[in-house]
């Protein structure tokens, strides 16, 4: 039986999986991501990790349909070229697909890691059974992916789904890594939560249980969420403001893509219902009614497995 390989490359670890041709997961594991020497060994390490499983999982190069690879950077989906990934120490364009094929002899398909996570959640996770979903990953930054009619939307330059750079903060208070101000990432990521807390503290909201962390420069998004759960006034204001800005972005996306599910993943999403309920309460009044009717805002279900499920799905869609 044919097998499908999947790799989700992160700055610390690479998540790997072997699937049947029907996308049943046979095995999964992780290896260290060696970013030394400009990450020159990363692809070879992945190939060797799969080779180590050949005997037990009964596959070889001849019966592998292909490998799907998720990478943390912008990808030209049509030719498998990654346009740099800072946390992998890949600073220049990398022809990931052709390089892996040269190393392994296995056909490869490559996409952005947030895109493959979105496809994984649509296929096997919170969006299972529905062809139209949007995933928003709320971590150190904000990423995302848009699945329409079961297929990822890439756009002509590969930037479709870059939800973190949706313009939502019209006061333009904080600088984004992209060089602009006003991006969702500056007010809804873990960094964005800290931006808001420090901003409001500096503007007079000093009666807070977070005072010690703020003064020590050790404030974290986790601490803000925990304080909000204890009804801290500053923390609750931050969580509600984060929810509002996410709702603004989702409202715009609803009018464009009209998904069945908005799926929230990443560390910030661990705030759970405290966050999703607030998002929904802001989202409905902002959104064109036919665009939100029947749409649900839910939490991701696959965790770290979303990337390998999505990568395997790409192989099934494009290499089978």
CATH number at residue 233: 3.30.420.40
- Give the per-residue pLDDT at 128: 95
- Give the per-residue pLDDT at 229: 96
On whether residue 124 sits in a domain, the answer given is: no
Same-domain check for residues 296 and 147: yes
Same-domain check for residues 153 and 87: no
Same-domain check for residues 222 and 281: yes
Per-residue pLDDT of the chain (320 residues; tens, 9 = 90+): 899 999 999 999 999 999 999 999 999 999 999 999 999 999 999 999 999 988 777 777 789 999 999 999 889 999 999 988 888 999 889 999 999 999 999 999 999 999 999 999 999 999 999 999 999 999 989 999 999 999 999 998 788 999 999 999 999 999 998 999 999 999 999 999 999 999 999 999 999 999 999 999 999 999 999 999 999 999 999 999 999 999 999 999 999 999 999 999 998 998 999 999 999 999 999 999 999 999 999 999 999 999 999 999 999 999 98
Same-domain check for residues 283 and 138: yes
Same-domain check for residues 68 and 20: yes
Report how many domains make up the chain.
2
- Determine contact, residues 107/151, Cβ cutoff 8 Å: no
pTM assigned to the model: 0.92
- Give the per-residue pLDDT at 73: 87
Instruction: Tell me the residue range of the domain where 231 lies.
Output: 130-301
Same-domain check for residues 259 and 147: yes
Same-domain check for residues 242 and 201: yes
Same-domain check for residues 278 and 178: yes
Same-domain check for residues 143 and 65: no
On whether residue 173 sits in a domain, the answer given is: yes
């Amino acid at each position: 039986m044919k097998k499908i390989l999947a790799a989700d490359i992160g700055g610390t670890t690479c998540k790997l999986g072997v699937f049947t041709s029907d996308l049943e997961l046979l095995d999964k594991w992780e290896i260290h991501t060696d970013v030394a020497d400009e990450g020159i060994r990363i692809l070879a390490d992945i190939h060797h990790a799969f080779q180590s499983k050949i005997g037990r999982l009964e596959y070889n190069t001849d019966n592998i349909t292909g490998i799907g690879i998720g990478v943390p950077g912008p990808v030209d989906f049509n030719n498998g070229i990654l346009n740099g990934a800072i946390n992998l120490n890949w600073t220049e364009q990398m022809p990931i697909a052709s390089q892996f094929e040269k190393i392994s002899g296995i056909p490869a398909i490559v996409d952005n890691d947030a895109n493959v996570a979105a496809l994984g959640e649509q296929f096997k996770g919170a969006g299972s059974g529905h062809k139209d979903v949007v995933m928003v990953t709320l971590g150190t930054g904000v990423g995302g992916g848009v699945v329409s009619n079961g297929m990822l939307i890439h756009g002509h330059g590969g930037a479709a789904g870059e939800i973190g750079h949706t313009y939502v903060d019209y006061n333009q208070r904080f600088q984004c890594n992209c060089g602009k101000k006003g991006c969702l990432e500056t007010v809804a990521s873990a960094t964005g939560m800290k931006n808001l807390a420090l901003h409001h503290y500096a503007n007079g909201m000093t009666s807070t249980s977070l005072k010690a962390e703020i003064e020590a420069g050790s404030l974290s998004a986790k601490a803000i969420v925990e304080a909000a759960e204890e009804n801290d006034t500053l923390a609750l204001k931050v969580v509600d403001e984060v929810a509002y800005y996410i709702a603004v972005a989702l409202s715009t996306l609803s009018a464009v893509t009209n998904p069945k599910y908005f799926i929230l993943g990443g560390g910030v999403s661990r705030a759970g219902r405290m966050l999703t309920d607030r998002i929904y309460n802001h989202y409905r009044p902002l959104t064109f009614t036919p665009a939100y009717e029947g749409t649900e805002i839910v939490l991701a279900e696959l965790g770290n497995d979303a990337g390998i499920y999505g990568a395997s799905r790409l192989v099934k869609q494009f290499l089978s």
